[in-house]
């Protein structure tokens, strides 16, 4: 095998990287892919419309795809069918985004691995495989600590008139004041999890305000309480975090780790670069 197409997908974006034995990697980006939120035809249309893949210029001997919603055999089968149809590749591996994070952040060492992006997830990885993974209830019933979860809290604080004047004005400047339009986007347009995660922008731009800090700490603490603290390995092994929310609010994560006397090892915005190195060794 002389070339590999690597994909790491969340619900908001997908990073693609064509790796060759010789030469620099080639990067692409598309919208996120999640088989729980998109049909096979919708994913195929996304690839045709967004991925600048030219078979005359680009050739992959195999594909390693990691993505949100790709943990179950049924969803892996659905994704494999779409990827084979689009790329015409026979050698294909489809794994969850949790496996991607574990391989990228831990390599061959054990640890507790957490994803905090549009959604959230966690696992205990023994250095070779995921050995324990707490259930994730997704963007409607779970996703504690995620962008979707934080964004929901921001919207609630605005709509319920909990924000003070400063934050109400900041919200309206970013997102407008028409609640009917916001609800229409939330309940009638696709990808409500992405839409809710967009409200995190208000938190990122208003750090230091006590209400903002309370929202961030409360939501992240719920992730610790419901997930991280349920792994007995959390007190004996290092913790690893990846995802846009983890990266943006890594100071709060570090504070919570100190409070719970946990060992925070690393926070990465995206696992794609470390995942690239993991797979390059296999070429």
DSSP 152-166: HHHHHHHHTT-S-HH
Question: Which residues are CB-contacts of 249 (< 8 A; sequence separation ≥ 6)?
Answer: 203, 216, 220
Comparing CA positions, the residue from 122, 116, 123 lying closest to residue 145 is: 116
* pLDDT 10s digits, 33-47: 999 889 999 999 999
How does residue 2 score in pLDDT terms, banded at 50, 70 and 90? confident
Question: What mean pLDDT is reported for the chain?
Answer: 92
Asked whether residue 61 carries a pLDDT value surpassing 90, the answer given is: no
Strand partners, 15: 8, 29
Give the helix ranges, DSSP H, for the chain. Answer: 40-50, 73-87, 97-106, 138-141, 147-159, 165-175, 179-188, 192-197, 200-205, 210-226, 244-248, 250-259, 272-280
Question: CA-to-CA distance for 134 and 230, rounded, in angstroms?
Answer: 8
Q: What confidence score (pLDDT) does residue 90 get?
A: 84
Question: CA-to-CA distance for 105 and 154, rounded, in angstroms?
Answer: 30
Q: What would the mean pLDDT of 165-192 be, rounded to a whole number?
A: 94
Q: What confidence score (pLDDT) does residue 5 get?
A: 92
Helix 147-159 with 165-175: angle, nearest 10 deg: 120
Check: CB of residue 69 under 8 Å from CB of residue 61.
no
Domain positions in the chain are 3-101+272-280
Better pLDDT: 270 or 106? 106
Asked whether residue 7 carries a pLDDT value surpassing 70, the answer given is: yes
Check: CB of residue 181 under 8 Å from CB of residue 155.
no
Q: What would the mean pLDDT of 248-259 be, rounded to a whole number?
A: 97
In the sheet that 62-67 helps form, which strands lie side by side, from edge to edge? Answer: 26-31, 13-20, 3-9, 62-67, 91-96
Check: CB of residue 84 under 8 Å from CB of residue 90.
yes
Determine the topology of domain 3-101+272-280 in CATH: Nucleotidyltransferase; domain 5 (3.30.420)
Asked whether residue 20 carries a pLDDT value surpassing 90, the answer given is: no
Q: What confidence score (pLDDT) does residue 55 get?
A: 79
Check: CB of residue 272 under 8 Å from CB of residue 117.
no
Q: What confidence score (pLDDT) does residue 11 get?
A: 79
* pLDDT 10s digits, 110-138: 999 999 998 999 999 999 999 999 888 87
Strand partners, 111: 125
Q: Which two tokens stand for residue 17?
A: 């990287």
Q: Which two tokens stand for residue 16?
A: 């693609």
Q: What confidence score (pLDDT) does residue 49 get?
A: 94
Better pLDDT: 141 or 171? 171
Asked whether residue 59 carries a pLDDT value surpassing 90, the answer given is: no
Q: What confidence score (pLDDT) does residue 22 get?
A: 75
Helix/strand/coil for 283: coil
Q: What confidence score (pLDDT) does residue 1 get?
A: 62
pTM for the structure as a whole:
0.85
User: 67-81, 147-161, 165-179, 208-222: which has the minimum mean pLDDT?
Assistant: 67-81
Asked whether residue 282 carries a pLDDT value surpassing 70, the answer given is: no
């Amino acid at each position: 095998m002389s070339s590999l197409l690597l994909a790491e997908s969340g619900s908001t974006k997908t990073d693609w990287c064509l790796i060759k034995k010789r030469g620099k990697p080639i990067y692409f980006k598309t919208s996120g892919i999640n088989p729980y939120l998109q049909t096979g035809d919708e994913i195929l249309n996304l690839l045709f419309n967004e991925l600048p893949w030219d078979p005359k210029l680009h050739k992959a001997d195999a594909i390693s795809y990691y993505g949100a919603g790709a943990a179950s055999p049924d969803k892996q089968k659905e994704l494999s069918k779409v990827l084979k149809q689009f790329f015409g590749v026979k050698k294909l591996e489809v794994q969850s985004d949790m496996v991607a994070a574990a391989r990228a952040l831990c390599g061959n060492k054990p640890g507790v691995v957490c994803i905090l992006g549009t959604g959230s997830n966690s696992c205990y990885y023994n250095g070779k495989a995921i050995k324990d993974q707490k259930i994730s209830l997704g963007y409607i019933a779970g996703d504690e600590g995620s962008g979707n979860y934080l964004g929901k809290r921001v919207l609630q604080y605005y709509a319920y008139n909990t924000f003070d004047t400063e934050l109400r004005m900041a919200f309206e400047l970013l997102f407008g004041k028409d609640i009917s339009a916001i609800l229409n986007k939330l309940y009638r347009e696709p990808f409500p999890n992405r839409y809710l995660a967009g409200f995190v922008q208000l938190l990122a731009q208003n750090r230091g305000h006590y209400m903002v800090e309370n929202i961030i700490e409360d939501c992240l603490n719920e992730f610790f309480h419901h997930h991280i603290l349920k792994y007995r390995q959390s007190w004996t092994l290092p913790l690893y975090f990846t995802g846009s929310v983890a990266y943006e609010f890594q100071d709060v994560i570090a504070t919570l780790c100190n409070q719970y006397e946990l060992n925070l090892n690393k926070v990465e915005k995206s696992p794609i670069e470390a995942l690239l190195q993991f797979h390059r060794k296999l070429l």
